């Protein structure tokens, strides 16, 4: 049975008629990129096709949606099969593995070694020494100086690790067999067996994948959305900009939401990134709305609502709030690892280091040292964990145990309840109602001497476009960007707590005076900030 029974749209038809070797598709959120790729596969039943997806969840979802002439893989599952599947007992690459190799500032140097190895394994550079220069460009100034000073030792320690992985063929990170498959030509050799390669999430490809595709001589369909590039911290690159193409197409009609959410999204990107050509259209057959809220406690959260956060701190804060309100909720993904690390920070804070599980955290004498480390590495997640402990210490450790229980019972008996998630974890998902936490826009204000980071806009864009019916955005969004945006945003209706359990939407024609008052109030606040 065809899981995509709809007739192709005009945009999809143009893509299906494309005859070029390298086709690039800019697919906006919810525009049916998977359906389009499945249509391409069905249009070429005599070809052997490889479909490369971002993660295992995408791989499982794709199976059954594509015809028998298509093999579906993640880049790592494809590399493992290309290498003959000789590796087992995989481990995450953690800084704690390298602590014993360093003396002074061992935590920072161990982490720098781990970061360097992650970069090297995902790069096409054949030798460790070749990768130090390009890697340096990703580091803040202080760490650049440290890398330059200790480069020889860092490369030596990294080589010891890769040599051990090669000899033992176990206890290695997944990126290691990817590196070997690329170095030995096995990845490219297996790629050459296919007539056509379909590549998803082209805005977040590893450099090693881009290099492998560059040598492939079959047909390539690269699909992605530059504005959804949110994995720069993993050294991912935007192939939608970097990779050459013969023909370029757009998918702009979103089947996920209606014109209201589409209109908001279009303006958000145009004003936030100065991209006047950005287009996304909503399905006219679907009702959708956007409204502003002041704080989460003004919202009577409906079932099938997702609260999407930029940071784990906001995720924790919202979990605490929902527990206090006795509101059923679930986590989009298992956050046990983050909770255990936060608990370790608490044990360090109260001087019970023997209870700490994480070797890196246990290596510090006190939280002050941990904080200095986090600031030097610009490890904002760890900084937020310290902030969580500082803010909620009276509730520790019991609150963590309660949240761990919720992780274990994830989803059981909570169907249709509120979902808590970081925006990164929500990518690829959709929800009837989305509340964008105010921490998602916290880094979008531009202060003097600093420019807005495009990836922060992208993160907010991903969160915004998870909504199908109702999108709730924080009031702070009305003071962002330029005057034209602010004038538009002040016209977005706001949420007010009504009598009874529900929240009502204010605004519309009857609320014109309120909108004008909000515009004047925001203008006054901006003048104060300038002073």
Lowest mean pLDDT among 151-165, 229-243, 417-431: 229-243
**Cβ pair 437, 372 in contact under 8 A:** no
Question: How would residue 1 be classed by pLDDT, with cut points 50, 70 and 90?
Answer: very low
**Cβ pair 178, 76 in contact under 8 A:** yes
pLDDT tens-place string over residues 233-288: 678 899 999 999 999 999 999 999 999 999 999 999 999 999 999 999 999 999 99
Question: How would residue 409 be classed by pLDDT, with cut points 50, 70 and 90?
Answer: confident
Angle among Cα 469, 473, 474 to the nearest 5 degrees reads 160
Nearest to 329 by CA among 405, 423, 427: 405
Question: How would residue 524 be classed by pLDDT, with cut points 50, 70 and 90?
Answer: low
User: What is the rounded average pLDDT of the residues 366-386?
Assistant: 95
CATH of span 10-86+179-251: 3.40.50.300
Strand order in the sheet with 49-53: 70-74, 49-53, 196-199, 219-224, 22-27, 247-251
Is pLDDT at 511 greater than 50 in this prediction?
Answer: no
Residue 411: its pLDDT value, please?
56
Question: How would residue 473 be classed by pLDDT, with cut points 50, 70 and 90?
Answer: very high
Angle among Cα 465, 206, 128 to the nearest 5 degrees reads 150
Each as own residue / partner, the long-range contacts of residues 56-63 (CB below 8 Å, 24 or more positions apart, any chain) are 57/428, 58/200, 58/428, 61/34, 62/34
Is pLDDT at 295 greater than 80 in this prediction?
Answer: yes
Cα–Cα distance for residue pair 24/292, rounded to 1 Å: 36
**Cβ pair 94, 113 in contact under 8 A:** no
Is pLDDT at 12 greater than 60 in this prediction?
Answer: yes
**pLDDT > 70: percent of the chain:** 89
Residue 284: its pLDDT value, please?
96
User: What is the rounded average pLDDT of the residues 344-350?
Assistant: 98
User: What is the rounded average pLDDT of the residues 407-430?
Assistant: 81
Is pLDDT at 417 greater than 80 in this prediction?
Answer: yes
Is pLDDT at 414 greater than 80 in this prediction?
Answer: no
Is pLDDT at 501 greater than 50 in this prediction?
Answer: no
User: What is the rounded average pLDDT of the residues 500-521?
Assistant: 42
Quickly list H helices, 122-140: 128-136
Phi, psi of 397 (to 5 degrees): -90, -5
Location of structure tokens 């190799």: 101
Cα–Cα distance for residue pair 327/319, rounded to 1 Å: 9
Cα–Cα distance for residue pair 1/35, rounded to 1 Å: 14
Task: For residue 446, give Cα distances in angstroms to 190, 443, 482, 523.
Answer: 47, 8, 11, 16
Lowest mean pLDDT among 4-18, 119-133, 238-252, 492-506: 492-506
User: What is the rounded average pLDDT of the residues 480-505?
Assistant: 74
Residue 531: its pLDDT value, please?
46
Residue 508: its pLDDT value, please?
36
Location of structure tokens 């939407």: 505
306-332 in b/e burial notation, b at 16+ Cβ within 10 A?
bbbbbbbbbbbbbbbbbeeeeeebbbb
Question: How would residue 523 be classed by pLDDT, with cut points 50, 70 and 90?
Answer: low
Is pLDDT at 499 greater than 60 in this prediction?
Answer: no
**Cβ pair 154, 113 in contact under 8 A:** yes
Tokens of 467: 């909504």
Continuous segment of H or E residues that includes residue 264 = helix 259-272
User: What is the rounded average pLDDT of the residues 66-84?
Assistant: 93
Cα–Cα distance for residue pair 358/94, rounded to 1 Å: 10
Tokens of 143: 């760490």
Location of structure tokens 């998602």: 440
Cα–Cα distance for residue pair 441/458, rounded to 1 Å: 11
Is pLDDT at 506 greater than 60 in this prediction?
Answer: no
**Cβ pair 186, 87 in contact under 8 A:** no
What topology does CATH give the domain 259-328+416-496?
Rossmann fold (3.40.50)
Is pLDDT at 449 greater than 50 in this prediction?
Answer: no
Lowest mean pLDDT among 163-167, 296-300, 344-348: 296-300
Is pLDDT at 416 greater than 70 in this prediction?
Answer: no
**Cβ pair 412, 326 in contact under 8 A:** no
End-to-end CA distance of the chain: 65
Nearest to 208 by CA among 82, 374, 323, 112: 82
Task: For residue 62, give Cα distances in angstroms to 12, 53, 199, 341, 519.
Answer: 19, 9, 13, 33, 46
Cα–Cα distance for residue pair 142/148, rounded to 1 Å: 10
Cα–Cα distance for residue pair 416/431, rounded to 1 Å: 10
Task: For residue 297, give Cα distances in angstroms to 321, 328, 330, 420, 503.
Answer: 8, 15, 18, 15, 11
Cα–Cα distance for residue pair 531/522, rounded to 1 Å: 15
Instruction: Assign residue 167 a region (left: φ > 0; alpha: ψ between -120 and 50; beta: otherwise).
Output: alpha
User: What is the rounded average pLDDT of the residues 193-214?
Assistant: 95
Q: Across all residues in the chain, what is the average pLDDT?
A: 89
Question: How would residue 181 be classed by pLDDT, with cut points 50, 70 and 90?
Answer: very high
Residues 6+ apart with CB under 8 A from 163: none
Quickly list H helices, 309-377: 312-324, 336-349, 359-362, 367-377
- Helices 174-183 and 141-168, interaxial angle, to 10°? 80
Query: pLDDT: is 154 or 60 the higher one?
Result: 154
């Amino acid at each position: 049975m065809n899981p995509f029974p709809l007739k192709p749209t005009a945009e999809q038809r143009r893509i299906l008629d494309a005859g070029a070797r390298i086709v690039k598709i800019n697919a906006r959120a919810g525009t049916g990129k998977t359906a389009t790729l499945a249509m391409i596969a069905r249009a070429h039943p005599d070809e052997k096709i490889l479909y490369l997806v971002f993660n295992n969840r995408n791989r499982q979802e794709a199976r059954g949606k594509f015809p028998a002439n298509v093999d579906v893989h993640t880049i790592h599952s494809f590399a493992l099969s290309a290498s003959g599947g000789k590796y087992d007992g995989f481990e995450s690459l953690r800084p704690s593995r390298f602590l014993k190799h360093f003396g002074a500032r061992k935590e920072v140097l161990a982490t720098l070694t781990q970061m360097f190895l992650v970069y090297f394994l995902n790069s096409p550079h054949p030798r460790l020494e070749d990768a130090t220069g390009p890697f340096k460009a990703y580091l803040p100034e202080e760490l650049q100086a440290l890398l330059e000073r200790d480069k020889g030792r860092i490369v030596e320690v990294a080589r010891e690790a890769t040599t051990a992985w090669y000899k033992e063929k176990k206890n290695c990170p997944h990126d290691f067999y990817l590196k070997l498959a690329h170095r030995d030509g096995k990845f490219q050799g297996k790629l050459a067996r296919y007539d056509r390669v379909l590549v998803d999430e082209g805005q977040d490809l590893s450099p090693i994948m881009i290099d492998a595709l560059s040598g492939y001589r079959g047909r390539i369909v690269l699909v992605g959305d530059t504005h959804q590039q949110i994995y720069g911290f993993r050294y991912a690159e935007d192939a939608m900009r970097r990779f050459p193409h013969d023909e370029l197409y757009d998918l702009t009609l979103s089947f996920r939401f209606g014109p209201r959410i589409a209109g908001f999204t279009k303006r958000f990107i145009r004003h936030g990134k100065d991209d006047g050509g950005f287009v996304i259209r909503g399905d006219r057959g679907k009702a959708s709305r956007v409204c502003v809220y002041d704080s989460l406690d003004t919202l009577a959260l409906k079932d099938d609502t997702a609260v999407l956060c930029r940071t784990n701190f906001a995720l924790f804060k919202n979990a605490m709030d929902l527990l206090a309100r006795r509101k059923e909720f679930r986590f989009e993904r298992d956050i046990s690892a983050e909770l255990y690390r936060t608990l370790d920070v608490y044990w360090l804070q109260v001087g019970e280091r023997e209870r700490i599980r994480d070797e890196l955290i246990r290596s510090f004498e006190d939280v002050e040292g941990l904080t200095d480390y986090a600031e030097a590495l610009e490890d904002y997640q760890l900084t937020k964990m310290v902030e969580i402990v500082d803010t909620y210490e009276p509730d520790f450790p019991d609150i963590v145990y309660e949240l761990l229980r919720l992780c274990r019972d994830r989803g059981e008996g909570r169907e249709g309840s509120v979902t808590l998630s970081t925006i990164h974890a929500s990518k690829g998902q959709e929800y009837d109602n989305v509340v964008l936490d105010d921490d998602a826009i916290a880094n979008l204000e531009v202060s003097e001497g600093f420019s807005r980071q495009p990836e922060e806009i992208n993160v907010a864009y991903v969160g915004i476009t998870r909504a199908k019916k109702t999108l709730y955005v924080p009031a702070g969004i009305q003071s962002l960007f330029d005057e034209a945006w602010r004038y538009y945003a002040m016209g977005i209706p706001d949420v007010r707590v009504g009598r009874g359990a529900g929240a009502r939407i204010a605004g519309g024609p009857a609320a014109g005076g309120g909108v004008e008052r909000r515009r004047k109030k925001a203008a006054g606040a901006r003048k104060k900030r300038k002073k």
